[in-house]
Amino acid sequence: MDTLLLTASDVRRLATLSDAVEAVQHAFDAHGRAAVQMPAKVYLDVPGVGDFRAMPAAMEGAAGLKWVNSHPDNPAKHGLPSVMGMYVLSDPETALPVAVMDATLLTALRTGAAAAVATRHLARPGARTLGIVGAGVQSEFLIEAHQVLGDWEIVVADRSPDAAARVAKAYGGRVGTVQEASACDVVCTATPSRTPVVQAGWVVDGAHVNAMGADAEGKQELEEALLHRASVFWDDAVQASHSGEVNVPLHHGSFTEDDVVATLGEVVCGAHAGRPSPTAVTVFDSTGLAVQDLALAARIVQAAKAAGVGRSFDFRA
């Protein structure tokens, strides 16, 4: 059996955020039912530069591994994306690699989709304003994934006025302060900050917050008081306690795992009701799950085979 090679342009041609949202929803459902194998991601630090991460996962009919990095200074220093990745999708029965594919776009797609799935299940009905805190590349995928759910009035905030203006113009939104973006019905934070940027008092009753930026030890985007005020849901207990939005207060002992309501997967699969009331504030602590990558990679490979996209090769030759 040959292996399919999919480049970044192949993935861009095949993948849609609508497909990504449905694939990630399926991944959360399987995770909530404990129908996946997903060891915690492994970090390989490069001091002063960034880190690498190995993310294996298996679910019915598929197994795979993503090798991905986070090098924040790459764009300025090397003209490269801060996040790049490669995915190997394998046949669980034979162990042969089904596909080797670019995972840079895949990572951005599934991250945006994860926020949209959280919003679908945790935001209050009628939510229509979307605040984006952090106008980097990921912000565009967050907006587009939410547009799969419906139309939004968008407010974009960033420490760079030019970055905020570019994103706001591209999606028909407006530039606002972090306080204004934090006062929307749904708030998505996508920064690499190690100091809270969203204050508890800025978030309105009934809001939902997707905390997407904290994905490594020491990162923190939300004022801790917001976590105590909110119903907190995380994607995975092991990962989030180590590297999610809650990792810093957990380390300090001012927040405990018992303060977390449930995983998002438990909400998606129906094991937990989710939002407790229309006026409650909900927070989704996202670290990024390997099973999300797996579900989306499998869907992209299926689409590639149907469309005749990619190049086949025998890696054993």
The residues assigned a catalytic role are 66
Q: At residue 107, what is the residue type?
A: T
| Contact indicator for 313, 24 with CB cutoff of 8 Å | no
CB contact set of 168 (below 8 Å; sequence gap of 6+): 135, 154, 155, 156, 174, 175
- Bridge partner list, 100: 5, 88
Return the closest-CA partner of residue 286 out of 216, 238, 235.
Answer: 235
CB contact set of 88 (below 8 Å; sequence gap of 6+): 64, 65, 67, 97, 99, 100
